[in-house]
Amino acid sequence: IKDLEQKAIDSLQSNDLDSSFAKLNQARAKRSQTLEEIEALRAGVVQRFKNFLPQFAEKYDALEELAELLDLPEFNSQFKNVYPETLRWMNNLSMAPDTRPDLAGRLNGDLREINRINGEISKKLGTTMRELEKNFRGLLTPQNKEEMEKIAEKQGRMEKTSGELAQRFAKMNQQNPMINPELSLKMTGAGKHMEKAESHLSKHDLPRSIESENSALKELSETRELLNELKNANDSENQRGQKETSLKLGSGRARDQSQGGSIRMQKEKVNLPSEDQFQAPKEFREEILKAMQNKYPRKYERFVTEYYKELVK
């Protein structure tokens, strides 16, 4: 830019004056754009934090509502997810290169204060939860404990059943790729949550057992949705198959719609599977047919119903 300024001065008495000033203005505009881009990079992490602030505030508003409702177990659960956010943004600011010192300093100061308050909340919350848990167990009668141990035994049996269902779903997926592999994963997840619920019930820890049972129920509900999707997809395919008229096998040609309806010969060699290769095992076909006739397998329906009853207890 300095060189161009000097050239513009030197060209005052020549015909190149307009050209020199045009080049000088272009260089100044490019410099301004470069400085703006550098400034944007330095303030990038600050801008991302600004965009995150509304979501951050909503989480703390939700915590405040739970505190007013004295719902400490839910407050504890939600707080565990909110607490790390402050530490994450403190780390982001410290790792950002060439962040504007004025903005970074103010934000770090505010985040450190939030982190200090979070630490106090965490300590008080832990103390309160331990006292409530101790008092709650003291209120349990021998009959209550016996009932919880019985429910724990039932929970263990249902966990075993969920494992068997997960294995069945996995086997069905191996035999037919159309079966969603998520079915087996969801049932496996439900079984793990049931195992935790059984452990908590055996220790007479009702709040944690309810949390694990709700997680198991969520996995079961998602499994049922997957089964319904599989059934609906099969029904749609059957309806489509009834409306469409397929070509005779081996005709060797099909109408090409993209070419105005002209006949197009199919000359590629096709290896058709034998009858034995095409047919699925009899037991598997029967299992699929049973599953498609209902919203979900009968054994699974009984399993979910029984689980709902145990949750009510």
Q: Which residue, of 93, 109, 139, is where some domain finishes?
A: 139
When divided into structural domains, the chain yields a total of: 3
In this prediction, residue 263 carries a pLDDT of 42
The pTM score is 0.44
Residue 104 — φ and ψ, nearest 5°?
Answer: -60, -40
Same domain as 181, residue 158:
yes
Q: With 60 as the cut, is the pLDDT of residue 293 above it?
A: no
pLDDT of residue 227: 85
Q: Are 175 and 289 in a shared domain? A: yes
pLDDT tens, 14-39? 777 778 778 878 888 888 888 777 76
SS (H, E, C) 182-240: HHHHHHHHHHHHHHHHHHHHHCCCHHHHHHHHHHHHHHHHHHHHHHHHHHHHHHHHHHH
Residues 290 and 170 in one domain: yes
Residues 115 and 207 in one domain: no
The answer to whether residues 30 and 64 belong to one domain is no
Strand partners, 255: 263
Both 157 and 291 in one domain: the answer is yes
In-domain check, residue 101: yes
Q: Do 100 and 151 have their domain in common?
A: no
294 and 168 both lie in a single domain:
yes
Considering 42, 57, 75, which residue would you say is the last residue of a domain? 42
Which among 87, 105, 139 is the end of a domain?
Answer: 139
Q: Is residue 74 part of a domain?
A: yes
Tell me the per-residue pLDDT of 211-270, one tens digit each, with 9 for 90 and over. Answer: 888 888 889 888 888 888 888 877 666 666 665 544 444 444 444 444 444 444 445 454
Q: Considering the domain boundaries, does residue 188 fall inside one? A: yes
Range of the domain at 5: 1-42
Statement to judge: residues 185 and 302 lie in one domain? yes
Under 8 Å between Cβ of 67 and 114: no
Calculate mean pLDDT across residues 195-208: 86
If asked whether residues 215 and 99 sit together in one domain, one would say no
